[in-house]
Structure 1
Amino acid sequence: MQPRLVIFDVDGTLSDSQGHILAAMADAFAVVDAPLPPREVVLSIVGLSLEVAIPRLAPALTPEQHAAMVAGYRAGFRSRREAGGVAATPLYPGIREAVEVLAAQEHTVLGIATGKSMRGLEALLDGQGLRHHFFTLQVADHHPSKPHPSMLLTAMSETGIGPERSVMIGDTSFDMDMARAAGMPGIAVGWGYHPATELGSAIRHVATAAELPGAVDAVLEREATA
């Protein structure tokens, strides 16, 4: 079979990081003594790079305040990760098994495209014992924020696999819009941070992680059987 590339988002797709995200965002707003937006508003920006997300949450503040908030968020998230370990950002039910099924396929290459930093991503993957499954890691350190397609274009370039043999798996409209901008299909998961009504550009929706291997096959079956 021809090689295919399956790219995962992280927060809201592989792992449930909302506890750390909400607490670290509270730290960020405390730095500038500003009120924290409601939970659903904070979670709505998950997936964006911090430098994009924080100005969206606090548009009335200055660039200097935004920079201080970014630093406060990173410090808070890092301290909680170091204190709580991987138990504080657990994998969603069935995700480990779905990743292992896909990784075991000789024609399937796995990648990640996330708004996390490389430091944060590696801490999560190493802590969960998943690092060896992923060939290409694309993070906010090296790319414009989602939904810019830079992460996906680079992943395809690194693997030599084109958009017709690639798919993005994510939980937010940013993931689906990024996939569309890169010319590849998107699979939306139903357990993340954006409601299904915001994921209309996905070519397929799944309700459980166990459905992911079959969904990948269904999305790419035309090319796989060509």
Structure 2
Amino acid sequence: MSGTRLAVFDMDGTLMDSQDFIVQAMEGAFARYSLPAPARADILSIVGLSLFEAVARLIPDHPDDLILQVSEAYKACFIAQRAQTGGEASAPLYPGARAVIEALAARRGVLLGVATGKARRGLDHAFAAHGLDPFFSTRQTADHHPSKPHPSMVLSCLNETGADKSDTVMIGDTTFDIEMGRAAGVHTLGVTWGYHPTDDLRAAGADLLVDGFDAVLSALDELWERT
């Protein structure tokens, strides 16, 4: 037993509400190739996956080269949005998120991590915009790992912090997060304010569900005490 407790957060839909930027960038990418825009709900359903995997789910009957082109167009659209609007700087943290991050970071023996479908460049922008750099000991992104729900990102968080699986909780808003945490052998905490329905999180096997950040600390304590 290492004695270290680790809380690993997803980013989009869990800590930060970036759905408008994601939807607009995806709509722009599809428009560049004269493809019908996916429904907003369909776009949000793939948030958290690596970009190629996400686009492949939206246009499953299209060749890989087109999926790759749309993926690159999404990146270009998102970067253009960032230049025009500030991107992550204007995407708010969810109410109560910062207070929970600060409270956990202040606890002795608790470390924070992030495991996100964002690229490292996007995560760096988000952290800089919201002043989150001092709080997180490990940061895993889609450009260095297989797509969720593969456990690679969580396992890397464990390796970098020395935390035991039994002392680690994956916190996320999608079934991909819950499935990733379960595949890595850690506890899972589903949040209901994000992009996947509550029933889906429950069916994916979330150990606990919370409806607001005011319940996150007590839920984490409950899961850590199960060790």
- Partner amino acid for 1:124? A
The reply to whether residue 90 of structure 1 matches residue 92 of structure 2 is yes
* Mapped partners of 1:70, 1:123: distance in 2: 19
Q: Secondary structure at the match of 2:226?
A: helix
Q: Which residue of 1 is the match for residue 172 of structure 2?
A: 170
1:206 corresponding residue in structure 2 = 210
- 1:36 maps to a residue whose letter is A
Gap runs ≥5 in structure 2 = none
The reply on whether 1:50 has 2:30 as its aligned counterpart is no
Q: Secondary structure at the match of 1:7?
A: strand
Q: Superposition pairs for residues 64-143 of structure 1, below 5 Å? A: 64-85=65-86, 86-143=88-145
Where do 5+ consecutive residues of structure 1 fail to align?
Answer: none
* CA-CA distance at 1:122 after TM superposition: 0.6
Report Cα offsets for 1:19-43 as digits up to 9, x if no partner: 0000000111112110011111111
2:63 equivalent in structure 1:
62
- Taking the TM superposition and a 5 Å limit, the aligned residue runs for 1:145-160 are 145-160=147-162
Once residues 78 and 44 of structure 2 are traced to their aligned partners in structure 1, the CA distance between those partners, rounded to angstroms, is 15
Q: CA distance change for structure 1 residues 163 and 31 in 2, over 3 Å: closer, same or farther?
A: same
CA RMSD for the aligned pairs?
A: 1.1
Provide TM-score, normalisation by structure 2: 0.95
> What SS does the corresponding residue of 1:199 show, helix, strand or coil?
helix
Q: Which residue identity lines up with residue 215 of structure 2 in the other structure?
A: E
Q: CA deviation at 1:181?
A: 0.2
Counterpart in the other structure of 1:193: 195
Distance 1:134 1:81 in 2: 23
Contact 1:16/1:92 (CA < 8 Å) preserved in 2?
yes
In structure 1, the partner of 2:223 is: 219
**Whole-Å Cα distance in 2 between the matches of residues 183 and 10 of structure 1?**
20
Displacement of 1:87 in angstroms is: 4.5
Q: Tell me the matched-pair count.
A: 223
Distance 1:165 1:82 in 2: 40
Give me the identity figure in percent: 47
Q: Deviations over 1:72-108 (max 9, x none)?
A: 1011112212322245311011101111111111111
Q: For 1:147, give the aligned amino acid.
A: P
Q: What is the CA-CA distance between 1:56 and the residue it aligns to? A: 0.7
Match of 1:34 in 2: 35
Q: Secondary structure at the match of 2:113?
A: strand
CA distance in 2 between partners of 1:134 and 1:169 (Å)? 14
Q: Distance in 2 between matches of 1:132 and 1:84?
A: 25
Q: Using the TM superposition, name which of 80-89 and 152-161 deviates more.
A: 80-89
